[in-house]
Chain A
């Protein structure tokens, strides 16, 4: 059972903090030309060339071992890097999933051959990965997935469908959660994860336009897609355990509280300019910071736990819920503030960033585990029977 005093204020080691200057120097120049409304897309912004440039500078695969092309650095180094990327609104969407969870998954559960093949490709931004989990009838109830991979003489034959897969139309590979034995009534048993080369015959990918007008997530259909045996990650039937172990990483990062920070900084610039400051806005800015600062501290504390080999699944879930709530409050509150200023000229880029984040904000508490699911987990993890 997780204790209420489990998170303590944690220091970032100086050698990892030192990375901040390098990445900031690069990002100041590299993002200077990108308008705020585009940078507001944050870690969903897809730019393959940007990802490759980051890779060339050694900023991809920071925590992966050097022998596989990684940086051999600590979780803290990646944390520092992630904070900077998010605060600049750098378009990291292409490699984000691969770097954050696909490579660590393959490192933990994969064969030597899989590690030697995929991890260097991830670290060099040569190949991008997406996550195949949700299906039309399996969202929060992920264990009820119906996509099947059945054994045949060439390996595994894949049939089924995934949906809400971000960037599938621009990725080379998907890591898909599939059923390899039993039926839906077996729940968590009989599930496995497979690496699917999306260029194989039988794969069809269709982007879905979202309400902001972007089309980053997709439906993906598998019609007798032939996978080799080496597509399987780890042991058959281990899928649920693998998915669960990814969660502390996936949910604990700075991207679960900094998705609206480009808008926040644009608004602060507006307040600091001539005629922008007023008591209500100042109080609101304080309110936002009073929530953001402890969240940031909790996120560093979580990174500390990961660095010590712990798996703070409950704490990551509660920090994600708090973080995404703040991410949603920021555009709502800023809109209220700007709406109270009938006399002021509000910069166009600030309005455009606000518009995008207002529209996108419902997704913050849906992606990576919905609020309602997370809250049930948190309550049970803290001792509710």
Chain B
């Protein structure tokens, strides 16, 4: 997960998003302003084609290699479907139909073919992972800076515990999202995707609630940036199946087979060894 190649792609995307997908820009796009210039920057940088094979003009990244990029989309609350576009263009290329343009934003409740649902679950798990991290960082910063009763509120045990619970969800969700993206795009493991979307969705609701609890009233305003992330945590929890949908998938897999709980946990968490 930390090869030179994916660090440099991630660094490049991080730079673009930091500069051009600011909270101000997010609000403008959400309020109906044109997203053309932001999308044009992304197209120019090549990221929508990151997973398209090199012979078709892309960077040929695997799903595992693209994971940090998907996380960044979430971490920056990108209001554009870069993640979906990356995977769809890779699939279209593989089936001999190069894609152009973005795709429609998928809303919760629309009926989609199952394998598309699995793909979206994968993408949104990674985005949730990124958004969870940003939500935690904002909350940590607030707890260190906001003073009441003569000290930073982070000095109070109740706040420390809330932050620790948040962090635990962030860590578990990130590992789950990695697991979901650890297979090649066209050979996704249903159980691994289930774990990914399941765990990230469970984390989303808890982390959003704690973030607002720690922030108090200021976090409840439109002007403060927290809501840009917590609204997405709730949205993305429900897109591509919320945790209940994936509990059913995973539970069915577990009850339908023989073998221990450990063995299924191993099957979805093992990755192949390659020498350093």
A97 at the interface (CB under 8 A from B): no
Nearest residue, chain B, Cβ from A261: B261
Q: Chain A CB within 10 Å — which of B163, B174, B264, B269 has the most? A: B269
A296 at the interface (CB under 8 A from B): yes
Using an 8 Å CB-CB cutoff, how does the interface string of A366-385 with B read, 1 for contact, 0 for none?
A: 00000010111011101111
B212 at the interface (CB under 8 A from A): no
Report the separation of the CA atoms of residues A5 and B173 in the bound assembly, to the nearest whole angstrom: 11
Using an 8 Å CB-CB cutoff, how does the interface string of A1-26 with B read, 1 for contact, 0 for none?
A: 00011011111111000000000000
B255 at the interface (CB under 8 A from A): yes
Q: Which of B153-183 contact A (CB under 8 A)?
A: 154, 157, 159-161, 163-165, 167-168, 170-176, 178-179, 182
B205 at the interface (CB under 8 A from A): no
Report the separation of the CA atoms of residues A382 and B159 in the bound assembly, to the nearest whole angstrom: 13
A286 to chain B, nearest CB (A): 3
- Chain B residues in 8 Å Cβ range of A382: 140, 163-164, 167
B198 to chain A, nearest CB (A): 4
Q: Are B133 and A4 in contact (CB under 8 A)?
A: yes
A163 at the interface (CB under 8 A from B): no
Report the separation of the CA atoms of residues A157 and B262 in the bound assembly, to the nearest whole angstrom: 48
B268 at the interface (CB under 8 A from A): yes
Q: Given A8-B1, A11-B272, A383-B144 in contact, is the A289-B178 Cβ separation under 8 Å?
A: no
- Chain B residues in 8 Å Cβ range of A265: 260-261
Report the separation of the CA atoms of residues A297 and B140 in the bound assembly, to the nearest whole angstrom: 26
- Chain B residues in 8 Å Cβ range of A288: 261
Nearest residue, chain B, Cβ from A279: B248
Report the separation of the CA atoms of residues A322 and B165 in the bound assembly, to the nearest whole angstrom: 9
Q: Are B266 and A379 in contact (CB under 8 A)?
A: no
Q: Are A380 and B250 in contact (CB under 8 A)?
A: no
A282 at the interface (CB under 8 A from B): yes
A176 at the interface (CB under 8 A from B): no
Q: Given A282-B251, A284-B251, A375-B165 in contact, is the A10-B264 Cβ separation under 8 Å?
A: no
A291 at the interface (CB under 8 A from B): yes
Q: Given A286-B194, A297-B175, A315-B171 in contact, is the A375-B164 Cβ separation under 8 Å?
A: yes
Q: Given A11-B270, A83-B262, A272-B258 in contact, is the A290-B250 Cβ separation under 8 Å?
A: yes
Q: Are A296 and B262 in contact (CB under 8 A)?
A: yes
A293 at the interface (CB under 8 A from B): yes
Which label, helix, strand, loop or mixed, suits the secondary structure of the B interface?
A: helix
- Chain A residues in 8 Å Cβ range of B195: 289-290, 293-294
A12 to chain B, nearest CB (A): 7
Nearest residue, chain B, Cβ from A254: B262
Contact partner, B178, options A8, A14, A379, A385, Cβ 8 Å: A8
- Chain B residues in 8 Å Cβ range of A352: none
Which range holds the interface residue count of chain A?
35 or more
Using an 8 Å CB-CB cutoff, how does the interface string of A315-357 with B read, 1 for contact, 0 for none?
A: 1001101100000000000000000000000000000000000
A29 at the interface (CB under 8 A from B): no
B225 at the interface (CB under 8 A from A): no
- Chain B residues in 8 Å Cβ range of A319: 171
Contact partner, B161, options A9, A292, A315, A372, Cβ 8 Å: A372
B41 at the interface (CB under 8 A from A): no
Contact partner, A293, options B140, B152, B176, Cβ 8 Å: B176
Contact partner, B247, options A277, A290, A380, Cβ 8 Å: A290
- Chain A residues in 8 Å Cβ range of B249: 286
Q: Are B272 and A286 in contact (CB under 8 A)?
A: no
Q: Chain A CB within 10 Å — which of B152, B194, B202, B268 has the most? A: B268
Nearest residue, chain B, Cβ from A265: B260
Q: Which of B59-91 contact A (CB under 8 A)?
A: none
Q: Are A379 and B264 in contact (CB under 8 A)?
A: no
Nearest residue, chain A, Cβ from B273: A11
Report the separation of the CA atoms of residues A5 and B2 in the bound assembly, to the nearest whole angstrom: 11
Using an 8 Å CB-CB cutoff, how does the interface string of B238-256 with A read, 1 for contact, 0 for none?
A: 0000011011111111110
Report the separation of the CA atoms of residues A264 and B255 in the bound assembly, to the nearest whole angstrom: 12
Contact partner, B269, options A284, A296, A318, A378, Cβ 8 Å: A296
Give A contacts to B, CB under 8 Å: 4-5, 7-14, 83, 86-87, 258, 261, 264-265, 268, 271-272, 277, 279, 281-298, 300-301, 315, 318-319, 321-322, 372, 374-376, 378-380, 382-385
Besides A379-B160, A380-B160, 16 more A-B contacts (Cβ < 8 Å) are A4-B170, A268-B260, A272-B258, A279-B248, A282-B251, A285-B250, A285-B255, A292-B265, A293-B176, A293-B179, A294-B199, A296-B265, A315-B171, A318-B164, A318-B171, A385-B144
| 4 A-B pairs with least C-beta separation | A286-B251, A286-B247, A290-B198, A286-B250
A sample of 5 cross-chain residue pairs with beta-carbon separation below 8 angstroms, ordered by A number, consists of A12-B270, A265-B260, A285-B250, A290-B243, A298-B171
